[in-house]
A = this chain, B = another copy of it.
């Protein structure tokens, strides 16, 4: 079968790889019908040392079940399913606590012999715990929004949950990428009265406003902090959704949080530490969040997508086939595209 392999910075290839197939009795085999490129895929796209073996890519996908192992009971051939960006057994202590990314038996796509999502097919370990069947056909108009449940919408939601967004409160979202835009959707969905987006790209800002952003701050650093403080009567935002992961964006997040407030960080951290230890201490600002347990949120978010109450699929503004994936990486890296969908 054909799949995406990254060999180094800027070097993404579509190659023939071993066909996906069942190995364990808990596996499912799916044909991938929709996948996408993640902002986090851009980090290796910018920095990966050259490697002839390469890494299989992609961790967000929808597929059609072709076959299941003997122990699989919750999905069957023909089902359309969405996979979160980590597989998990659904039965361990952490899965029961809703933290599927810490599953004692789970793992991540594209590593240790597990297929990636940017390809024609994938073996799904722990299929019962991992997959969620979708009650729609594979060409349904909702596909883009359903696809976001695999990662980006769940990640935006995790930022909002971790930052303690509540009805009537003020949320600030740092970053106007696809995660930031989904974080705006999530903040509105959880009832934030005011949603301040910190971003600089006019097209993304326009979409954020449609998603529910009430204010936009395009300054950076200290100026951004001052601007948010002006907008919040000098107090800061109750909830800050940090969707970038750079040291500067985290420092901004801590600077605009209200005393007693919370930062929910979902941007993959590029720094080694969380800055401003004394400031967060003095103001009792909580820093939470992390890698989103997307699987935990699918059931909660799915009805809102199916009934059209949220439209996170609007973050996709470019679609490619499998051969177009390398150009999709380039387009996202050049900020020509917010997020690229792949129709293998």
The residues of A with any CB-CB pair to B shorter than 8 Å are: 93-94, 97-99, 101-102, 162, 235, 250, 259-260, 262, 265, 268-269, 271-278, 280-291, 293
Contacts and interface: CB of A to CB of B under 8 A. Distances in A.
Q: Indicate how many identical chains form the complex.
A: 2
B284 A287 contact: no
A277 B281 contact: no
Contact of A102 (B260, B265, B291): B260
Contacts of A284: 99, 101-102, 162, 288-291, 293
B273 A282 contact: no
A38 to B, nearest CB: 16
B288 A286 contact: yes
13 contacts: A99-B259, A99-B260, A101-B284, A102-B284, A269-B278, A272-B276, A273-B273, A273-B275, A274-B277, A281-B289, A281-B291, A284-B293, A286-B287
A286 B102 contact: no
Given A283-B102, A284-B99, A278 B272 contact: yes
A272 B278 CA distance: 7
A97 B259 CA distance: 10
Contacts of A282: 101, 290-291
Nearest to A282: B291
B281 A269 contact: yes
A281 to B, nearest CB: 4
Contacts of A98: 260
B268 A94 contact: no
Nearest to A267: B281
B289 A259 contact: no
Contacts of A281: 265, 268-269, 289-291
Contacts of A287: 274, 280, 286-288
Contacts of A271: 277
Contacts of A101: 282, 284
Given A277-B271, A286-B162, A260 B291 contact: no
A282 to B, nearest CB: 6
A78 to B, nearest CB: 35
A176 to B, nearest CB: 21
B260 A97 contact: yes
B260 A94 contact: yes
Contacts of A94: 259-260
Contacts of A291: 281-282, 284
Contacts of A275: 272-274
A274 B274 contact: yes
Contacts of A274: 273-275, 277, 280, 287
Nearest to A101: B284
A281 B158 CA distance: 12
A16 to B, nearest CB: 33
A168 to B, nearest CB: 13
Given A101-B284, A102-B284, A265-B281, 9 more contacts: A94-B259, A97-B260, A99-B259, A271-B277, A272-B278, A273-B274, A284-B290, A284-B293, A286-B288
Contacts of A276: 272-273
